[in-house]
Structure 1
Amino acid sequence: MTAENAIPAGTILLSDSEAFGCQGAVHMVDPGTGLQAFFALGGDLVGATGIAVEADGNVVVTKDRQYPGTGTLLRLSRSDGKTTQRVVSSEGNFVAPCAVAVEGNGNILVADLSSKGPGAIIRIDPVTGDQTVLSVSDGTLDPLRPGGVCVAADGTVVVVEQAGPVPEPAAPRVVRIDPVTGVRTVVSAGGAFVSPVDVAIDHDGNILVVDANAFTGSSGGVIKVDPVSGAQSVVSSGGSFDSPTAIAVEADGSLLIADNKAKTGEPTLFRVNPATGAQQVLASGLPFRALTGVKVVPAA
C-alpha cells in the first residue's frame, strides 16, 4: 500500500457481516471523533468475520461459508482511493473461519470453529495461500470450538475456546499454542468464562478476553488473564454492554469493544479505560449492522 493510500495509524477498522442490506463491509472509525466511513463494502464481504492488518497495511478478513460462497480469507488493499478485494485462500481446510491474526513473519493464522470436526487453527502462506493445520482437535475435547486468536510478542499463539458439543463439555478456556509444534497449553479455564468470543494482548502482556455472557443477566464484559498464573480479574462488565463480540487494544492501552446490541439496542463501538473499566461510546448505529471484529491500524 503506497503512502498516499495508507490508512492513518490509530484508525479503527471493524468487520461487519451484514452492513447495508447484508452486503458485508469493513468500517473505518476516526479514533478522535468517532466519525464512521467505509474502507470496503460488498463484494465478497457478506459474512465477514475476523479482521487483521498486515505489516504493509493491507487488511485481511475471514468469511464464513454459511453466507454465499465458501469459507474464505480475503485481502483488501487500497489503490487510487479505491479498495480492491482478492482471495488469498479458500475452501481446503476452511469450514467456518471466525477469526484471523498475523504472525511476525507475515504468515496468517485463521481460527476455524468447525474445521476437522471440533475446530482447528490453520496457518496460511500470505503469498501462495497454501494452508497448513497448526493445531487441531483430537476428536474429543481439545480444542473446543476455537474463537478469537492473537499472537503474543514472543510469537506464541493465544486462542479462546468455548465449551464444545460433547457429552460433558469442559469449561471454556484460554489456551497457548506453540507456533512450531502446535502443542496446546491451558492458561486459564472456567472461572468467569461463559462464552468467550475474542482475545487480545495488552501492552503488559496480559491476556484480555471479551465474553458475551459472563455476567449478571447474561451481560458481557472484559476479563483480564494473568499469562503466567491464569488468574482472572474483571476489567469491565455490565454497564452499557449487552453482547460484546470483539476486542482490540489502542496505542495508549485503551480497549476497544464491539457490541452488536449494547443497552441501546444499536451496534456500538465502546472505548474502555483499562484501569477503571469506564465505558465510553465512540460510535454507534448505522451504518453498523453486525460487527464481528475490530482492529487498530498500527504505526508504520
Structure 2
Amino acid sequence: MRILLFLATNIAIVAVASITLSLLGVGSYMTAQGLDYTNLMIFCLVFGMVGSFVSLFLSKWMAKRSMGVRIIDQPSNADEQWLVGTVAKLAEKAGIGMPEVGVFASPQANAFATGWNRNDSLVAVSTGLLNKMTREEVEAVLGHEIGHVANGDMVTLTLIQGVVNAFVMFFARIIGSFIDRAVFKNENGHGIGFYIATFFAEVILGILASTIVFWFSRRREYRADIAGAELVSPAAMVSALARLRAEYGQPSDMPDEMVAFGISGELKNALGGLFMSHPPLEKRIAALQARYGR
C-alpha cells in the first residue's frame, strides 16, 4: 500500500508539473550553449512547489490509508463520544473548523494532525495513547495537535519544503553542468557527466538543506506545546510530555512520511540533533516549565 501511495503521488506530481510548465510556455532548460537559467529556475520552482503541495493536498487521504486510520463519523461508545466532543471544543476555542477525528492501531502513544488548511484537517490518536494516558493528558495532546492546525504549520512546512526542493534542484544542475564541462570536457555540459554529477549533488545538497526543514519542524513543536498548554492547561501538557518520555528512545512505528506530524518523533542523534524532527522531550518540558513557572 505504501509503495502504491508513493507511486500515485509521484505520478500526480509529474502530471501536474508538466501541465503547469506547458501552460507557462516553459521550454527545455538545456540549450546548445549551455543552461538557460531562467527556464531552469522556473522548472525547479514548479517541480519543487508542485511536489510539496500535491503531497499536502493528498496528506489526509494518504495518512488515512498508510496509518489505517478509522474515522469516527458516528461515535459508537462513550469514549469515542468524549474524543469527538473534546476535539470539537478545542477546535472552537482555537477558532478553526471541526477536524475529522480518527483512531489508528499502535501500541505507542502518539497522535498527529494533517490537512491542507485550518478548516479541512484531520486529527488522529493512537490506541496506545488512549490506553496509556489520562483523559486530561489526552486532551492536552489533542490541544497540541489542534495548535498545529491553528498555527498553519502544515502549509508553512510545505512552503519551506517547496522552496528548499527548488533551490536544491537548481544548484545541483548548475554543479552538474560545471563538472561535465570541466571534468568530462563536454562543451555544452549535457553529457553523462551532467546526470551523474547532478544526482550526487542533489543527494548532498538535499541532506544539507533538510536541516532547514528539520529546524522549522522543531520550532513548530514548541509552539504547538504552548497551544496545548493554553487550550487545556500547562500542567496537563507537561504531564502528557512526561508520559511520552517513558517511551523515549524507541523508534516510532509511524511511516517515515508521517513521523514529523506526530507529537513524538523518532529519536535521531546525528550531528547534535540537526536531523531531528522533534526536540528532545526534556527540552520541551523545560521550555513549558520556564514559560509558566512550574
TM class by shorter chain equals: under 0.3
Normalised by the length of structure 1, the TM-score is: 0.24
Normalised by the length of structure 2, the TM-score is: 0.25
Higher relative contact order (CA 8 A, sep 6+): 2
Higher-helix-fraction structure = 2
